[in-house]
Amino acid sequence: MEAEEGIGKNIPVVTKQSWRFNIKLSSIIDNLIAARQIMDLTDETAIDGSQALRRSAMALLADCDAVDIAGRLDGMALPAHETLREPENGLVMVRGRIGGDGAPFNVGEATVSRAVVRLSSGEVGFGYTLGRDRQKARMIALCDALIQSADHANALEAQVLAPLRAAMAKKRNRSAAETAATRVDFYTMVRGEG
Amino acid sequence: MTTFAELPAGFADKVLSAQSTFRSVMDAMARPGSVQKIAAAAGAPAAMMPGTAAIALTLFDHDTPVWLDSAMAETSEVTKWLKFHTGAPVVEDCSICSFALIGDTAALPELGRFSFGSNEYPDRSTTLILQVGSLTEGPAVELRGPGIDRPAVLQAAIEPPDLLARLSINAALFPRGIDVVLVAGDAIVAIPRTTLLSAKGD
Which residue has better confidence, A22 or B45? Answer: B45
The beta-carbon neighbor of B4 closest among A83, A84, A86 is A84
Cα–Cα–Cα angle for A174, A175, A180, rounded to 5 degrees: 100
pTM: predicted TM-score of the whole model, two decimal places = 0.76
Whether B100 is in a domain gets the answer: yes
Average the pLDDT over B5-9 and give the result: 81
Start-to-end CA span in chain B (Å):
60
Residue of B nearest to A50 (CA): B1
The type of residue at A168 is: M
pLDDT score recorded for residue A183: 87
Pairing, β B152-155 against β B140-144: antiparallel
Are B53 and B186 in contact by the 8 Å Cβ rule? The answer is no
The beta-carbon neighbor of A88 closest among B4, B7, B14 is B14
Residue of A nearest to B43 (CA): A84
- Length of chain A equals 194
Query: What is the DSSP track for B119-180?
Result: SS-GGGBPEEEEE-SBSSSSSEEEEESTT-SSPEEEE-B-SSTTHHHHTTHHHHHTTS--EE
Are A120 and B47 in contact by the 8 Å Cβ rule? The answer is no
Question: Which residues in chain A have their CB less than 8 angstroms from residue B12's CB?
Answer: 86
Q: Which residues of chain B have a Cβ shorter than 8 Å from any chain A Cβ? A: 1-2, 4-5, 7, 9-14, 84-85
Average the pLDDT over A111-115 and give the result: 95
Cα torsion through B92, B95, B101, B107, rounded to 10: 90
pLDDT score recorded for residue A39: 46
Which residue has better confidence, A158 or A43? Answer: A158
Residue of B nearest to A119 (CA): B5
pLDDT score recorded for residue B151: 86
Instruction: Report DSSP state, residue B3.
Output: T
Are B56 and B83 in contact by the 8 Å Cβ rule? The answer is no
Pairing, β B140-144 against β B36-37: unpaired
The answer to whether residue B133 scores a pLDDT higher than 60 is yes
The answer to whether residue A156 scores a pLDDT higher than 50 is yes
User: Are residues A86 and B2, on separate chains, in Cβ contact within 8 Å?
Assistant: no
Rounded Cα–Cα distance for residues B95 and B170 (Å): 16
Rounded Cα–Cα distance for residues A85 and A117 (Å): 7
Whether B4 is in a domain gets the answer: no
The beta-carbon neighbor of B2 closest among A85, A86, A124 is A124
pLDDT band at residue A47 under the 50/70/90 scheme: low
Residues ≥6 apart with Cβ < 8 Å to B15: none
pLDDT score recorded for residue A118: 93
pLDDT digits (tens, 9 = 90+) for B139-174: 888 999 999 988 889 988 887 778 888 898 998 998
Helix axes A32-46, A2-30, angle to 10 degrees: 70
Q: Would you call B91 exposed, middle or buried from its count of C-beta atoms within 10 A (0-12, 13-18, 19+)?
A: middle
User: Are residues A148 and B1, on separate chains, in Cβ contact within 8 Å?
Assistant: yes
Q: Where do the domains of chain A lie?
A: 2-30, 49-169
The type of residue at A124 is: V
pLDDT digits (tens, 9 = 90+) for A59-79: 999 999 999 999 999 988 899
Least confident of A19-23, B86-90, B196-200: A19-23
Whether B143 is in a domain gets the answer: yes
User: Are residues A122 and B13, on separate chains, in Cβ contact within 8 Å?
Assistant: no
Whether B5 is in a domain gets the answer: no
Query: What is the DSSP track for A71-84?
Result: HHHHTS-PPPEEEE
User: Are residues A84 and B9, on separate chains, in Cβ contact within 8 Å?
Assistant: yes
User: Are residues B12 and A86, on separate chains, in Cβ contact within 8 Å?
Assistant: yes
The answer to whether residue B201 scores a pLDDT higher than 70 is no
Whether B3 is in a domain gets the answer: no
The beta-carbon neighbor of A124 closest among B5, B10, B85 is B5
The answer to whether residue A33 scores a pLDDT higher than 80 is no
User: Are residues B1 and A86, on separate chains, in Cβ contact within 8 Å?
Assistant: no
pLDDT score recorded for residue A187: 78
pLDDT score recorded for residue A22: 38
The answer to whether residue B25 scores a pLDDT higher than 50 is yes
Query: What residue spans of chain A are helical by DSSP H?
Result: 2-30, 32-46, 49-63, 66-74, 134-148, 153-156, 162-181
Residue of A nearest to B42 (CA): A84
The beta-carbon neighbor of A85 closest among B2, B10, B13 is B10
Are A118 and A81 in contact by the 8 Å Cβ rule? The answer is yes
Look at phi and psi of residue B136 and say left if phi exceeds 0, alpha if psi is from -120 to 50, else beta.
Answer: alpha
Pairing, β B196-199 against β B140-144: antiparallel
Q: How far is A122 from chain B (nearest CA, A)?
A: 5
Residue of A48, A88, A118, A121 to mutate when probing chain B, most B C-beta within 10 A:
A118
CATH classification at residue B28: 3.40.50.11310
Question: Which residues in chain B have their CB less than 8 angstroms from residue A124's CB?
Answer: 2, 4-5, 7
Query: What is the DSSP track for B170-199?
Result: HHHHTTS--EEEEEETTEEEEE-TT-EEEE
Question: Which residues in chain A have their CB less than 8 angstroms from residue B4's CB?
Answer: 84, 116, 118, 124
Task: Report CA A116 to chain centroid distance, whole Å.
Answer: 21
The beta-carbon neighbor of A83 closest among B4, B9, B85 is B9
Which residue has better confidence, B112 or A31? Answer: B112
Rounded Cα–Cα distance for residues B182 and B128 (Å): 8
Whether B29 is in a domain gets the answer: yes
Q: How far is A84 from chain B (nearest CA, A)?
A: 5
pLDDT score recorded for residue B5: 65
Whether B8 is in a domain gets the answer: no
Q: How far is B39 from chain A (nearest CA, A)?
A: 18
What domain count does chain B have? 1
Rounded Cα–Cα distance for residues B177 and B37 (Å): 25
The answer to whether residue A36 scores a pLDDT higher than 60 is no
Range of the domain at B186: 14-199
pLDDT band at residue A193 under the 50/70/90 scheme: low
Mean pLDDT rounded to a whole number for chain A: 79
